[in-house]
A and B are shown apart, each in its own frame.
Chain A
Amino acid sequence: MDPIVATTVSVISAATPLLLAANGELVAEKAGVLNLGVEGMMLVGAVSGFAVTLITGSATLGILAAASAGALLALLFGLLTLGLMANQVATGLALTIFGVGVSSLVGAGFVGTPVERLPRLDIPGLSDLPVLGPLLFGHDALVYLSVAMVALTAWFLGRTRAGMILRACGENDEAAHALGYPVIAVRFAAVLFGGVMSGLAGAFLSLSYTPMWVEAMTAGRGWIALALVVFAAWRPWRLLIGAYLFGGVTILQLHAQGLGLFAVPSQVLSMLPYLATILVLTLIAAGSGRRRLDAPACLGRPFRPPA
């Protein structure tokens, strides 16, 4: 395979978990909930997906298990923050720490065991095309799902009544309540969706990106996903651009390390995606003002319906 095509394919791979997780978080934040537990939900998804695939031999069951595990953690988050009005930031951080711990515990016996990589969806003929074949065809199901979900989210938020109600809940919870919309239920649904998507992102890591289980294998991708939502100004299609940009940076630094391109220690190159995250967030904050309006107005604010 042409090295440029090969690199591009690996960029797509690196971008997919970011895109899945960020898409879920975007919907939760649009409804007004800031869930900082993405990293934890991804890890729990990764370990569940891996374990179930290994034990049952079915990748489909593994993916379902990952989605359910992510949803389960999101459910816990929802009960605490939406039901009991716990602070969203603190609860989200706790969720991440919890996810790191519980995934290490569950995954202790699996470390180093290989699992079969998710099957590629090859389309006879099309997948063999030069350049286009490997670029567009022959990825696994989660890659296609990640892009399809962006389109679906954009359509749902922008074009459907349910999506409009979800945005309304994130924009002005009290007004939405006064007009008779079930703010807490809408937010719960959005948080669960976020959990499912984070779980899938984790499954992609442990079943496709590097088909094995390693402790804390998300390596901060959950945080990058959170930053991507800000980068994308809460717009689904911009998320696609952002995820592929960050995927590109990740792959770039890997290749630079492999080729010994720059006379800098490899650790510095490994920092690149994270430095890029900080840089992007700083630039966005510096250009503030108008940007502030992009964020859902009630983001992170607990809502208690009046008696």
Chain B
Amino acid sequence: MSAPPNRLELRGITKRFPGVLANDRVDLAVRPGEIHALLGENGAGKSTLVKIVYGVLQPDEGEILWEGRRVEIRSPHQARRLGIGMVFQHFTLFEALSVRENIALGLEERYERGELERRIREVSEGYGLPLDPDRDVHTLSVGERQRIEILRCLLQNPRLLVMDEPTSVLTPQEVDRLFATLRRLAAEGCSILYISHKLEEVKALCERATILRGGRVVAVCDPRVETARSMAETMVGAAIREPARPAGRLKRAPRLLVDRLSLEPEDPFGTALRDITFLVRRGEIFGIAGVAGNGQDELLAALSGERPAPKPEMVRIGDARVGRLGPTARRRLGLCVIPEERNGHAAVPELTLTENALLSAHGRLQLLRLGFVRRRAVAAFARRIVERFDVRTPGIEVTAGSLSGGNLQKFVVGREILQNPEVLIAAQPTWGVDAGAAVAIHAALLELAERGTAVLVISQDLDELLALTDRLAVIHAGRLSRSFETRDVEIARIGMLMAGVEEPAPAEAS
């Protein structure tokens, strides 16, 4: 008796881009009903590989077997007809279109309007993923948006579901619910190819893992018997020193104080900030958790000075009341910021690394003289960032946009840290960054706090906050909860606060 054929098998897949060998003779086998993890650093070739599976890209060499038969997948249409569904990391949704239209665009079969609505309701309720087909996408939360992507796949009864980092934007409860859905799908015989940087999740969910490094398969393992650390080391190809869990810091002087900060949103779909109150002490790392869209962007803008606060005393750096000051004045007082969006907010993708180094550092590092740029000093500063923070780049005169996400993030983090800030605010500092770069960034933040800087980390990644912070609070609907000592916080409680189930208690007085 022979075992059933693999649902999907890749043999010797090779894909070249100009100057890069993205996939080098990659073999991968996914069994029926298996949840299979695909791991690797950024740039290891995972995205290229799944794009080949989904027909977005064509391999240069190698063959694809679907249920034992050789196939060529020329387009996403063909992939969907075979029974391959894909949930992208960056959602492929159309903001101005309705849920129903968004789903229809991802389906091969054409439905009558009413029939499609009935199917959407049926499947979404069947899997516990409620959605209203008539809502426009821009009115939905991130978790709801992901449901659209998943439903789009489920409506075609997929036999292989590819998920690219699906949990990076979800609350712990949403993650649990997603996992329940995925386990049920697998039990029904659907195979799942699961891409994630979160190795603990992979351990909890997946039966097998294929690990890529530099475009090649370096290991196939059972994540349930591996440790997160051993898998990370296989991905990176070197031993990783996890940053030590920070010891509780002493009650030192507050450096950043935010006092009853309320601010109406600029954007009609933005979130109003309501009585935000917290403080960050010298040498402390303070975390703000929360699901995207609950006021994080507005809070960052109010702290950085991009949007002035209504009153000067609402934001204080030490004794200085800076609420009405702009970003440059706040930087001079020692407040440096790492915004979430690398391309376009933290850095200008079309400008070179040198120019980007100048943009935020000219005030603190005296990179200007009489209004002229001190080119040599700027170049030296850019080189120092690249060296100290191990930014992998051909040089400092390449554009920021040409760097991979992780490398650009290391550059941005380095640029701010090397300005020796009194207060550093980092939003999503390791968003979409590979394990190696994430460890480096975490280590840099810890070291900075060690030297006495007050560090504020705003992140949706609860694991990151738990590993990094001394205290943390949760932001929901523009209000900040009271703060908790990270050491003895209950994750379930934080999850409830993130979901807005528990009304945040009144904020502590500063």
Name A residues whose Cβ lies closer than 8 Å to a Cβ of B: 161, 164-165, 167-168, 171-172, 174-181, 289-290, 293, 296-297, 306-307
Q: Take A180-B76, A290-B268 as given contacts and tell me if A164 and B97 are in contact as well, using a CB distance cutoff of 8 Å.
A: yes
Q: A293-B138, A307-B17 are in contact. Are A179 and B93 (CB under 8 A)?
A: no
Residues of B near A165 (CB, < 8 A) are 105
Contact assessment for B138 and A179 in the assembled complex, using a CB-CB cutoff below 8 Å: no
Beyond A171-B97, A177-B56: 13 further Cβ-contacts under 8 Å?
A164-B97, A165-B105, A167-B94, A175-B88, A175-B94, A176-B92, A178-B76, A179-B92, A179-B105, A180-B55, A290-B268, A297-B95, A307-B57
CA of A167 to CA of B137 in the docked complex: distance in angstroms? 14
- Chain A residues with CB under 8 A of B267: 289
* 24 residue pairs bridging A and B, Cβ less than 8 Å apart: A164-B101, A164-B104, A164-B105, A168-B94, A168-B97, A168-B105, A172-B93, A172-B94, A175-B92, A175-B94, A178-B56, A178-B76, A178-B92, A179-B76, A179-B92, A180-B55, A180-B56, A289-B268, A293-B96, A293-B138, A297-B95, A297-B96, A306-B56, A307-B57
CB distance B96 to A171 under 8 Å?
A: yes
A171 engages B104 (CB within 8 Å): no
> Across the interface, which residues of A come within 8 angstroms of B95, CB to CB?
171-172, 293, 297
> Within 8 Å CB of B77, what residues of A?
180
Chain A minimum-CB-distance residue to B79: A180
Nearest-Cβ distance from residue B413 to partner chain A, whole angstroms? 27
> Please, how many angstroms separate the alpha-carbon atoms of A174 and B94 in the complex?
10
A172 contacts across to B, CB distance below 8 A: 92-95
The digit string for B368-379, where 1 denotes a CB below 8 A from any CB of A, is: 000000000000
Question: Quick check: B93 and A175 within 8 Å, CB to CB?
Answer: yes
Shortest distance in angstroms between A34's beta carbon and chain B's nearest beta carbon?
17
Residue B106 CB within 8 A of the other chain: yes
List the A residue with the shortest CB-CB distance to B113.
A159
Q: Which of B75, B92, B106 has the most CB of A within 10 A?
A: B92
Contact with A along B38-55 (1 / 0, CB 8 A): 000000000000000001
- Which 5 A-B pairs have CB atoms at the shortest separation, nearest pair first? A180-B76, A175-B92, A171-B94, A289-B268, A180-B77
Q: Which residues of A contact B138 (CB under 8 A)?
A: 293
In the bound complex, residues from chain A placing their C-beta under 8 Å from that of B93 are 172, 175
B96 to chain A, nearest CB (A): 5
Nearest neighbor of A289 in chain B, beta-carbon distance: B268
State A293–B139 Cα separation when bound (angstroms). 11
Which of A164, A176, A178, A296 meets B88, CB within 8 Å?
Answer: A178
Name the residue in A175, A180, A297 with the highest tally of chain B Cβ atoms < 10 Å from its Cβ.
Answer: A180
Q: How far is the CB of A175 from chain B (nearest CB, A)?
A: 3
Would you call B251 an interface residue if the criterion is a C-beta within 8 Å of the partner chain's C-beta atoms?
A: no
- The listed residue with most A CB atoms (<10 A of its CB), out of B91, B105, B110, is B105
Distance (whole angstroms) from the CB of B29 to the closest CB of chain A: 25
- Cβ contact within 8 Å between A306 and B57: yes
Smallest Cβ distance from A229 to chain B, in angstroms? 16
Distance in angstroms between the alpha carbons of A181 and B90 in the assembled complex: 17
Residues of B within 8 A of A161 (CB): 104, 110
Cβ contacts under 8 Å, A297 to chain B: 95-96
B101 touches A179 (CB 8 A): no
Given the complex, which residues of B lie within 8 Å of A293, measured CB to CB?
Answer: 95-96, 138
Residues of A within 8 A of B80 (CB): 180
In whole angstroms, how far apart are the Cα atoms of A294 and B56 in the complex?
Answer: 30
Q: Which of B74-90 contact A (CB under 8 A)?
A: 75-77, 80, 88, 90
B334, chain A: closest CB distance, angstroms: 34
Q: Which residue of A lies closest to B80 (CB)?
A: A180
State the CA gap A171–B136 with chains docked (Å): 13
Q: How far is the CA of A243 from the CA of B225 in the complex (A)?
A: 70
B204 CB to nearest chain A CB (Å): 28
Query: In the complex, how many angstroms separate the beta carbon of A154 from the nearest chain B beta carbon?
Result: 16
Q: Which residue of A lies closest to B107 (CB)?
A: A179
- Hey, what's the 0/1 contact readout for B61-85 against A, CB within 8 Å counting as 1? 0000000000000011100100000
What's the Cα separation between A181 and B267 when bound, in Å? 31
Please indicate the chain B residues that have their CB under 8 angstroms from the CB of A296 in the complex. Answer: 96
The answer for the CA separation of A178 and B91 in the assembled complex, in Å, is 10
**Which of A164, A171, A180, A289 is close to B75, meaning CB atoms less than 8 Å apart?**
A180
In the complex, what distance in Å separates the CA atom of A41 from the CA atom of B95?
A: 32
Smallest Cβ-Cβ distance to B88: which chain A residue: A178
Chain A residues with Cβ below 8 Å from B110 are 161
Contact with A along B242-284 (1 / 0, CB 8 A): 0000000000000000000000000110000000000000000
Q: Which residues of A contact B101 (CB under 8 A)?
A: 164, 168
Most chain A CB inside 10 Å of its own CB: which residue of B91, B92, B96, B97? B96
Which chain A residue shows the least CB distance to B104? A164
Q: Which residue of chain A lies nearest to B15 when distances are taken between CB atoms in the complex?
A: A307
In the docked arrangement, what's the CA distance between A13 and B91, Å? Answer: 47
Q: How far is the CA of A46 from the CA of B250 in the complex (A)?
A: 80
**Nearest chain B CB to A9's CB is how many angstroms away?**
38
How far in angstroms is the closest Cβ of chain B from A157? 11
Alpha-carbon gap, A179 to B91, bound state (A): 11
What chain B residues lie within 8 Å of A289 (beta carbons)?
267-268
Closest to A182 in B: B75
Whether A167 lies near B97 (C-beta < 8 A) is yes
| CB-CB nearest in chain A for B18 | A307
Closest partner residue, chain A, to B94 (CB atom): A171
Q: Which residues of A contact B56 (CB under 8 A)?
A: 177-178, 180, 306
Contact between chains at B97 and A175 (CB < 8 Å): no
- Chain A residues in 8 Å Cβ range of B57: 306-307
Q: How far is the CA of A179 from the CA of B17 in the complex (A)?
A: 22
Q: Are B268 and A174 neighbours in the complex by a CB distance under 8 Å?
A: no
Interface centre among A161, A174, A178, A293 (most CB of B within 10 A): A178
Q: How far is the CA of A307 from the CA of B48 in the complex (A)?
A: 11
Q: What's the least CB distance linking B118 to chain A, in Å?
A: 18
Least CB separation from A167: chain B residue: B97
Question: A165 to B77, alpha carbons, bound, how many Å?
Answer: 14
Tell me the minimal C-beta distance from A182 to chain B in angstroms: 10
A297 to B104, CA, bound (A): 20
CA distance A179 to B267 in the complex (A): 30
Which chain A residues lie closer than 8 Å to B55 at the CB level? Answer: 180
Q: Which of B431-461 contact A (CB under 8 A)?
A: none
| Residues of B contacting A180 in the complex (Cβ-Cβ under 8 angstroms) | 55-56, 75-77, 80
Cβ A179 vs Cβ B104 within 8 A: no
Within residues 5 to 51 of chain B, which ones have a CB less than 8 A from any CB in chain A?
Answer: 17
Kindly state the separation between the CA atoms of A169 and B91 in the bound complex, as whole angstroms: 15
| Chain A residue at smallest Cβ distance from B16 | A307
Report the minimal beta-carbon distance from B26 to chain A, rounded to whole angstroms: 18
Q: Which residues of B contact A177 (CB under 8 A)?
A: 56
CB interface residues, B 103-120, toward A, < 8 Å: 104-106, 110
